[in-house]
Amino acid sequence: MNDAQLLRYSRHILLDELGVEGQQRLLASHALLIGAGGLGSPVALYLGSAGVGRLTVIDDDTVDETNLQRQIAHNLARVGRPKAESVREAVAALNPDVQVTALNQRADDTLLDAWVPTADVVIDGCDNFATRQLVNRACVRHGKPLVSGAAIRFDGQLGVFDPRVADAPCYACVFPPDAGVEEVRCATMGVFAPLVGIVGSMQAAEALKLLAGLGSRRTSHLLMLDGRELAFHDIALKRDPHCPVCGSAHGGASAVG
């Protein structure tokens, strides 16, 4: 690190758990962010301000005025522009040293297979069940840790799914792909503005700990948040040996090095 970086990241370097070595790991790391909306906004801003060296953002949506109630990386001047590009500008305003790649595309298997292997951590901030399943499968396939978050109305959740950890579940162990989950969206159900900030900030924290080599104690746990009471409920998770994604019968996590 140069003198300017030592000054910028001095409050991280003062932490015994991080120090110079941990900050250097952040500077050398690559995070892949799926979604540049309510959850992706705080994730991108915190990862960028903390000095993650490379950040790739995937989102095919554009900024709308209704987003501005909660999606803090965007502003009125960027309404109508691609969200991924808006996030790139927001991060650059905080920390121009971060290399941000904006992909104005929908996440599909081809795109994920191209980018997930290059990342040190994947953060899922998307807003639909089908994409979450695609992202999870790609992370299992390529052995990459996944930090998953969701928020709707006053309810949020956070999970860390790491195929590198023996016997750790994947997202599909908890939410099977064929579960017939009914899609709920902010446009019809609403969402409490600070809730996405809380969940997104926790996703950023878990991603930064993974990137800095501190690990995550959230693996094999699902954290549920009741925003009305500001109450957290921790649920222990187990890997499903018959999981269609990571189960050994399907060549899942056990086949990943």
Strands (E), 107-238: 121-124, 146-152, 155-161, 221-226, 231-236
CA-to-CA distance for 56 and 105, rounded, in angstroms?
A: 12
Does the pLDDT of residue 249 top 60, yes or no? no
- The strand pairing partners of 234, in sequence order, are 223
Does the pLDDT of residue 140 top 80, yes or no? yes
CA-to-CA distance for 159 and 24, rounded, in angstroms?
A: 26
The one-letter code for the residue type at 158 is: L
Q: How confident is the model over 33-78, as pLDDT tens digits?
A: 999 999 999 999 999 999 999 999 999 999 999 999 999 999 999 9
**Confidence band (pLDDT; 50, 70, 90) for 217?**
confident
- As a whole number, mean pLDDT of residues 195-222 equals 95
Number of structural domains the chain divides into: 1
* The pLDDT of residue 24: 97
DSSP collapsed to 3 states, 40-105: HHHHHHHHHHHCCCEEEEECCCECCHHHHHCCCCCCHHHCCCEHHHHHHHHHHHHCCCCEEEEECC
Tokens encoding 138: 């790609």
* The pLDDT of residue 179: 75
* The pLDDT of residue 255: 37
Percentage above 70 pLDDT, the chain: 93
Q: Among this protein's residues, is 139 annotated catalytic? A: no
- As a whole number, mean pLDDT of residues 115-134 equals 96
Three-state DSSP at 186 gives helix
**Confidence band (pLDDT; 50, 70, 90) for 245?**
very high
Question: CATH number for the domain including 131?
Answer: 3.40.50.720
DSSP 8-state assignment for residue 127: S
Does the pLDDT of residue 169 top 50, yes or no? yes
- As a whole number, mean pLDDT of residues 183-207 equals 88
Contact (Cβ atoms closer than 8 angstroms) between residue 207 and residue 29: no
Query: Could you tell me the residue range of the domain that residue 58 belongs to?
Result: 3-255
Sign of the four-CA dihedral 21, 22, 27, 29: positive
Closest CA to 83 of 51, 35, 47: 35
* The pLDDT of residue 88: 98
Q: How confident is the model over 76-101, as pLDDT tens digits?
A: 999 999 999 999 999 999 999 999 99
CA-to-CA distance for 178 and 181, rounded, in angstroms?
A: 8
Q: What burial letters (b/e) apply to 187-225, b meaning 16+ CB within 10 Å?
A: eeeebbeebbbbbbbbbbbbbbbbbbeeebebbbebbeb
Candidates 139, 186, 243, 246; catalytic one: 186
**Confidence band (pLDDT; 50, 70, 90) for 187?**
low
Three-state DSSP at 209 gives helix
CA-to-CA distance for 59 and 37, rounded, in angstroms?
A: 8
* The pLDDT of residue 178: 87
